[in-house]
Amino acid sequence: MRREMIVSAAANLFRERGYSGTSLDDIGAAVGTTGPAIYRHFPSKEALLTELLERAVERAQRDVKSVASQRLAPRPALEAIVRRSVAHALEESDLVVMASEGVRNLSASTRQRISRGQRVVIEAWVAALRRARPELDREQARAIVRGVVALAQAVSRSGRVDRAWAEDRFVRMALAALSID
């Protein structure tokens, strides 16, 4: 329980203040403890950031694998990936922001591991898009997917708008960008 509180507070503070602008003392204060007490759960601030980023990537991987396991037709499969990604961006906006911005604060080896996980997700999107739109080559599909992923990341920065409204609008925009609406 305490570990989850630390992770949640860190995600929020890293988003608000940036990784460099957030100290372990800040995170400790947010959960009612001291900065040094964080070391009982994480060996370093980077380890905490790494866990945040790994969680975001793992969730995205689970989402695309779950859709793939449903054996949907190409267009419904792609729409399901979009809907899950937008819902994830709205549910866990702090994690999504950190997944897109926090990587640069990691060691090279950790950054490579996170990037590999992100590539798995992108390639799953690319494969789904190419099944729905076979006229696209791999690079065209990848460019479109990267744009839509950026749109999904923008969802996480949308502030305090009504969730149902935001989900509906962003899903429609993403599907239009994929040209499958």
- CATH code for position 119: 1.10.357.10
- Residue 154 has a pLDDT of 76
Give the residue numbers spanning the domain of 89. Answer: 52-177
Mark whether 21 and 56 lie in a shared domain: no
By mean pLDDT, which of 2-16, 28-42, 59-73, 144-158 is the weakest? Answer: 144-158
Question: CA dist 159 to 21, 27, 97, 147, 156, Å?
Answer: 21, 22, 12, 20, 7
- Token pair for 102: 């926090």
**90 domain residue, yes or no:** yes
pLDDT at 181 over 60: no
- Residue 46 has a pLDDT of 92
Averaged pLDDT score across all residues of the chain: 87
**47 domain residue, yes or no:** no
Number of alpha carbons in the 13 Å side-chain half-sphere of residue 161: 15
